[in-house]
Structure 1
């Protein structure tokens, strides 16, 4: 079996840092080297504690990416940074293709579909969301009944859906670009769509989630917790450790040569199940009230004035508030379980964890 060299990006982030931490503890089949893409000298020092060799190059420079991939013979790339823009993804896919053409090795790219996608100016830089948005009511995906991440319909939905906004269009288009370009160049691609991820991050950098702080930020600005939907929609949830373990299981199967879905059949959701937004709001509102952040422990339905205040707290316009704090997603996680992933925490665990989650967010982001 050829030696495998792994590169992980986004290692100072919430998901990437937790993945890097858990890779050190995972009992994986033998591989040659683990690399981490870093931006600063302090990050370079930090990743060494996890057994990773730091690399510095511009992922948006095609020549720099190809040079690194060929020099270090990196045949497995886990991309956990700046997932909304396809530029870096395209560069890595083409570089992996060059490596495969050069030495004939199988090459793999895991794309985590999430992160920053808009600001108060509606440009695509600051608003935070998750990859499950790309298969939800926000893009007019089916929400009448549950459907599995094993289904080929996911690619078809992504390909033919009308997201209704330039923000989500980029998210969906990047997913499609990864799948289609990888397939055309005989690269095995995996698109992982995070949901509401919670729990303390285990890495050296950011240790708080993306979605739950949005609820806190909106509540701080509005002085109350508001729901943005009227029909009690549900959304998949996952503990950050279980989320990282899905990535590791995909890697484990790559290293051991086990077949698993990729390409148009390579969509994965890390989630033990779904919870109602209302229940999440209620548990967070209770703790926020106890901490003196909101004036009322009860969750109310947002009116136009509330949305205005929430948008200020989220640094976005009113139309984007619901994108961060609501919607319905009926996708179910069966693909990961099929390949050997088993979540440690049930979906209901998030409700028990939200008091600690709120405290963690306030510790990191302050009370103001």
Structure 2
């Protein structure tokens, strides 16, 4: 019998991480995986251990020595919990470097970044043209992303480690993620069922009793369903296991996640329509957030302007591996009303 593939996954109780973990639990090769997850909550850790057969370790992102040790013990690490924590990612890389030094194994790091690495500062005023699109096969465009871009300081740590040769690093780059996951970890009460971008707009709309947008809402973003996001991770994972030479890594290892685009106005209008249908508002037309509302409904003013940015990407590299997303922009808009209903009940 060959040794099992050792996997360390962060973000097991999260919206995306839990959905990826559910795919691994139902993977055809599941019996050949030895999966360890880092969990803060002891009750959830117990369920993951007893019901789902996972190795669970109680800890936080601040337990750097523990994280390094867990990474060192794994051939494949999925980091699906934080795209911006340099110390946390540094601990993962330290562990993987130790593994490489001690065993000669070149471990795999599949890291979750985000398409915000190429967003602008339009504040809703305009739609960016096709010349701004970041196709994940365009290595030179990847290298031109400024170090100050959101998430990118962590990306650069991984790219440097890949260049040094002690890991093979893969950067999964989702856009606006939407949809309600329905896998068994959700049923068990383990994982978060909401993303960030759309729920923030919904909660603001419910509070002000009318849909809102940053500026004129003209800026464009791509979107990807949570299930298609998980399938992207698994498509990449399967390729790495079966045909690693087919999956580019390092600077050739950006894997964008998108299947269609929307404008912030269109998204806000869908929220507005849902509010009218549910009796919360009388007019579906979104209005521009005032300065005071941006401060009220978003953590910071700088963060609020993210909802008015352009961000245009294409997932050519991911599709070349055989990834076939099922959900379209139409599904994005269809997902809005059920999500509004969920927050209305809360």
- If the TM-score is normalised by the length of the shorter chain, which range does it land in? 0.7 to 0.9
Alpha-carbon distance between aligned partners in 2 of 1:206 and 1:69, rounded to the nearest angstrom: 24
1:13-52 to 2 correspondences below 5 Å:
13-28=14-29, 31-48=32-49, 49-52=51-54
Comparing 180-189 and 232-241, the one that deviates more: 180-189
Answer yes or no: is the 8 Å Cα contact 2:128–2:219 preserved in 1: no
How far residue 2 of structure 1 moved from its aligned partner, in angstroms, is 6.1
What SS class does the counterpart of residue 95 from structure 2 fall into?
helix
Question: Corresponding residue for 2:228?
Answer: 242
Alpha-carbon distance between aligned partners in 1 of 2:267 and 2:340, rounded to the nearest angstrom: 11
Answer yes or no: is the 8 Å Cα contact 2:179–2:225 preserved in 1: yes
How far residue 57 of structure 1 moved from its aligned partner, in angstroms, is 4.0
Q: State the number of aligned residues.
A: 332
Please say if 1:313 is aligned against 2:297.
yes
Alpha-carbon distance between aligned partners in 2 of 1:286 and 1:22, rounded to the nearest angstrom: 34
Alpha-carbon distance between aligned partners in 2 of 1:362 and 1:355, rounded to the nearest angstrom: 10
Question: Corresponding residue for 1:262?
Answer: 249
| 1:29–1:11 Cα change, 3 Å | closer
Question: Corresponding residue for 1:275?
Answer: 262
What SS class does the counterpart of residue 105 from structure 1 fall into?
coil
What SS class does the counterpart of residue 190 from structure 1 fall into?
strand
How far residue 59 of structure 1 moved from its aligned partner, in angstroms, is 4.2
Alpha-carbon distance between aligned partners in 2 of 1:228 and 1:299, rounded to the nearest angstrom: 10
Question: Corresponding residue for 1:121?
Answer: none
How far residue 62 of structure 1 moved from its aligned partner, in angstroms, is 3.9
5+ residue gaps, structure 1, are 114-130
Instruction: Provide the TM-score with structure 2 as the length reference.
Output: 0.87
Question: Corresponding residue for 1:117?
Answer: none
5+ residue gaps, structure 2, are none
1:203-222 to 2 correspondences below 5 Å:
203=186, 204-222=190-208
Answer yes or no: is the 8 Å Cα contact 1:24–1:51 preserved in 2: no
How far residue 233 of structure 1 moved from its aligned partner, in angstroms, is 2.2
How far residue 143 of structure 1 moved from its aligned partner, in angstroms, is 4.2
| 1:149–1:22 Cα change, 3 Å | same
Question: Corresponding residue for 2:214?
Answer: 228
How far residue 249 of structure 1 moved from its aligned partner, in angstroms, is 1.2
What SS class does the counterpart of residue 77 from structure 1 fall into?
strand
1:23-54 Cα distance to aligned partner (Å, 9 max, x none)? 22232486340111111221212323344221
Alpha-carbon distance between aligned partners in 1 of 2:80 and 2:122, rounded to the nearest angstrom: 22
Question: Corresponding residue for 1:196?
Answer: 176
Query: Which of residues 144, 150, 159 is equivalent to 1:157?
Result: 144
Query: Which of residues 163, 173, 181 is equivalent to 1:183?
Result: 163
Query: Which of residues 316, 339, 345 is equivalent to 1:334?
Result: 316
Query: Which of residues 174, 178, 190 is equivalent to 2:154?
Result: 174
Alpha-carbon distance between aligned partners in 2 of 1:37 and 1:162, rounded to the nearest angstrom: 29
What SS class does the counterpart of residue 35 from structure 2 fall into?
strand
Answer yes or no: is the 8 Å Cα contact 2:96–2:167 preserved in 1: yes
Question: Corresponding residue for 1:81?
Answer: 81
Question: Corresponding residue for 2:287?
Answer: 300
How far residue 162 of structure 1 moved from its aligned partner, in angstroms, is 5.3
| 1:322–1:293 Cα change, 3 Å | farther
How far residue 230 of structure 1 moved from its aligned partner, in angstroms, is 3.1
Alpha-carbon distance between aligned partners in 2 of 1:44 and 1:82, rounded to the nearest angstrom: 19
Query: Which of residues 144, 160, 178 is equivalent to 2:129?
Result: 144
Alpha-carbon distance between aligned partners in 2 of 1:30 and 1:148, rounded to the nearest angstrom: 36
| 1:69–1:82 Cα change, 3 Å | closer
Alpha-carbon distance between aligned partners in 2 of 1:295 and 1:311, rounded to the nearest angstrom: 25
How far residue 213 of structure 1 moved from its aligned partner, in angstroms, is 0.7
Alpha-carbon distance between aligned partners in 1 of 2:31 and 2:101, rounded to the nearest angstrom: 24
Alpha-carbon distance between aligned partners in 2 of 1:11 and 1:29, rounded to the nearest angstrom: 16
| 1:231–1:308 Cα change, 3 Å | closer
Answer yes or no: is the 8 Å Cα contact 2:122–2:219 preserved in 1: no
Q: Note the aligned Cα RMSD (angstroms).
A: 2.5
